[in-house]
Amino acid sequence: MPIATMGAVRTMAPHELEDIQTSVDPEAGQILLSNTYHLYLKPGEKILQELEGIHGLMNWPHSVLTDSGGFQVFSLSNMATISDDGVDFRSHRDGSLHHMTPERSMEIQSAIGSDIWMAFDQFPGYPATVEQVEASVIRTSAWASRCQNWFKQYMKSRPAGSHQLFGIVQGSTYSDHRRASVEQLLALNFDGYAVGGLAVGEPADVLYEVLEMTTPLLPGDKPRYLMGVGPPEQILEAIKRGIDMFDCVIPTRNARHGNVFIHSTEHSDKLVEADLSEARYSKLNIRAEQFSSDSLPLDPDCHCQTCLAPYSRAYIRHLFTVNEPLAARLCTVHNVHFYMQFMKEIRDIISA
Ligand SMILES: [Zn+2]
């Protein structure tokens, strides 16, 4: 899922994202991720409701998953105060005081009108003590139950399956607490399960260990979603450990800094080894001096609009040098296409 935190995949129009996804894999479902916390602050629930939610706001006819806002409340806001009821926090925008609860998160996600909602969870921080993690798991389960109650009531008057609610597993790096979190969430029977509290600065081997202790406990017939990951090789390793869904800012954020993903020179045909053993790619920082007169496209083996045009490395580097927003946009188109192509190749290998 590309990330449209505030209702836009930065620098890219929704129809451009649709074009990329369609050109890479016309059979695949299209989905993006947006964020409850940010959309709650701006444009706010009232405007979202008037415009028929985020689908109307963005004119995006495909699926949207919204993060619950839990992570942002704890990581972005000033002075978050947590109680069993919810969280008091100050907006990172204007310092205004807000109260977020599991029920409010559900109400806001209903105003956003997203297709997949996330339960409001408590991230314990990283690293976290065993006491902090235990408290976070207990609270996350209690809040998940309140979200599920609200959601079931809401869905009584709507077509079954028209919205889905996922629970978020916490437990940090502690296997006992990951297991407890999974068991408590499974009892609530969510439509899918996310592994949360990762991609927060832990080493890759810790990430893989947590997945090995967590994903086998989650039902294989429901989506398993790893939040916030990551570089291509970590996505591949997570898929091998049972993960189905991802979101990450890396393709878009890196693009805005001129960091682009390309086919590796030795293996220009595929981005993934046929046995899923390795992601095959290289990275360029297109702002480097060495590209100042390079007439090649970013990646001669890429079929994105930036590379097909083709716009040269020298042109894109020049655009960065003169702070032209088109530079970020051309690289964003390329990197999002790269990630979509990478995932498509993995899906094809799994299908085969
Ligand atoms: Zn490209």
CA 46 to ligand 1 center in whole angstroms: 39
Q: Are 97 and 80 within 8 A, CB to CB?
A: no
Annotated catalytic residue, options 67, 115, 121, 299: 67
Active site residue 275: no
Q: Are 303 and 23 within 8 A, CB to CB?
A: yes
What pLDDT is recorded for position 75?
78
Q: Is the dihedral of CA 167, 172, 176, 177 positive or negative?
A: negative
Average pLDDT over residues 43-56: 98
What pLDDT is recorded for position 71?
84
Annotated catalytic residue, options 115, 121, 247, 299: 247
From 20, 1, 2, select the one nearest 252 (Cα to Cα). 2
Average pLDDT over residues 148-157: 98
SS3 call for 281: strand
Active site residue 247: yes
CA 186 to ligand 1 center in whole angstroms: 41
- Residue 268 confidence (pLDDT) above 70: no
What pLDDT is recorded for position 226?
98
Longest alpha-carbon distance in the chain: 62
Instruction: Give the 3-state secondary structure of 170-192.
Output: CCCCCHHHHHHHHHHHHCCCCCE
CA 342 to ligand 1 center in whole angstroms: 12
- pLDDT digits over 54-110, tens only? 999 999 999 999 999 888 887 776 678 999 999 998 888 898 999 999 999 999 999
CA 304 to ligand 1 center in whole angstroms: 4
Query: In sequence order, which ranges of the chain are alpha helices (DSSP H)?
Result: 14-24, 36-41, 45-50, 53-58, 70-75, 102-112, 130-155, 175-186, 204-214, 232-240, 250-256, 305-308, 313-321, 325-351
CA 334 to ligand 1 center in whole angstroms: 4
β-strand 87-90 against 164-169: which pairing, if any? unpaired
From 67, 58, 70, select the one nearest 17 (Cα to Cα). 58
